[in-house]
């Protein structure tokens, strides 16, 4: 048996969040929303209307709703003109060019059925009865013999 040794770094507990329902639970920020669904056992705690990962008591929720950092996204959605944009708007500019991507290319269209009839391609007919398959194979044999390919 091979002796595999794996090096494991120390756990960085600074990145973890404490569960609002049970202080013994330590969760990564990425997994907090899923954990809160599983662990929602205390009916006295209320979830923030702006972010479901914010859970507080009823008294603390009144203050939190006023100061919630995620509230600005709702305010910006309700009144997009009265608030400054979240990100600076990109400069609108046009590049002048002679290329037109809407024009069809000068190439011919490809018809696979026509190509298979003209070239020496062996086709396996699907979904036809055995008698029609025999006739198809016989026609293909004659076509190949006429073109001296086999």
pLDDT digits (tens, 9 = 90+) for 66-75: 888 888 777 7
Do residues 35 and 27 lie in contact, with contact meaning Cβ atoms separated by under 8 Å? yes
Residue with more model confidence, 41 or 117 = 117
Residue with tokens 């025999």: 134
For residue range 9-20, list pLDDT tens digits in order: 566 767 888 888
pLDDT > 60? residue 149: no
CB 83 within 8 A of CB 112: no
pTM value?
0.41
Contact (CB, 8 A) for 32 and 53: yes
Judge whether residue 138 has pLDDT over 90.
yes
Q: Per this entry, what is the length of the chain?
A: 150
Residue 1 clears pLDDT 60, i.e. is over it: no
């Amino acid at each position: 048996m091979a002796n595999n040794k794996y090096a494991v770094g120390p756990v960085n507990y600074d990145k973890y969040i404490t569960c609002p329902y049970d202080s013994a639970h330590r969760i990564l920020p990425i997994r907090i929303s899923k954990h809160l669904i599983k662990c929602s056992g205390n009916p006295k705690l209320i979830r923030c209307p702006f972010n479901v990962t914010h859970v507080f008591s009823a008294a603390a929720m009144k203050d939190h709703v006023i100061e919630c950092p995620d509230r600005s996204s709702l305010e910006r959605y309700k009144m997009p003109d009265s608030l400054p944009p979240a990100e600076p708007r990109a400069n609108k500019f046009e590049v002048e060019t002679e290329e037109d991507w809407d024009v069809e290319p000068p190439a011919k269209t490809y018809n696979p059925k026509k190509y298979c009839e003209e070239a020496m391609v062996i086709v396996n007919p699907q979904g036809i009865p055995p008698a029609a398959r025999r006739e198809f194979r016989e026609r293909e044999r004659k076509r190949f013999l006429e073109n001296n390919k086999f």
